[in-house]
Amino acid sequence: MHIGHISLLVADYDEAIDFYTQKLGFVVLEDTLLSPQKRWVLVSPSPTSECSLLLAKAANEDQQMQIGRQSGGRVFLFLYTDTFWETYEHLKAQGVIFLESPRQEPYGCVVVFQDLYGNKWDLLENKKPKS
C-alpha cells in the first residue's frame, strides 16, 4: 500500500497551479474538468512521485475557513530535496516566504516555508549516512 494523493483545499485552481508549478517547480499530472465548478487537479514535485497533491477548490464556507489551516497551524507537508541549499536559494528567488532561517537538526537540514495560502511546509534534506 501507499498514499496516492493528499487533498489540499485551495481558493482557486489556477492560482494554486501557478504557485505550485511556477514557484515550487511542481508538475501538473492531471487537470480534468468534472463539472462547471469542480476539477480534478493533481500536482507533484516529480512526474514519477507516488504521492501527489489533489488541489481541491473549497466548495462551501466551512471549507473556505480551513484553507491554509488544514493542520491547525502546524507544519502540514514535507518537501524533501537532495540539494538543500540550491533548492532553498531557488525558492527564495521565486518569492517563496520562509518563516525562519535554515537550521541543522540531527536528521538533516530543514527550513519552514509557507505556500500561497499559509500552509506550513518543511523543506528538508536528510543527513547523509557516514561511509
| CB-based contact 12:64 (threshold 8 Å) | no
Q: How far apart are CA 124 and CA 107, in angstroms?
A: 9
Question: Model confidence over 16-74: pLDDT tens digits?
Answer: 999 999 999 999 999 999 999 999 999 999 999 989 999 999 999 999 999 999 999 99
Report field, pTM of the whole predicted structure over 0.75: yes
H-type alpha helices, the chain: 13-18, 61-66, 84-93
Domains defined for the chain, CATH in brackets: 1-67 (3.10.180.10), 68-131 (3.10.180.10)
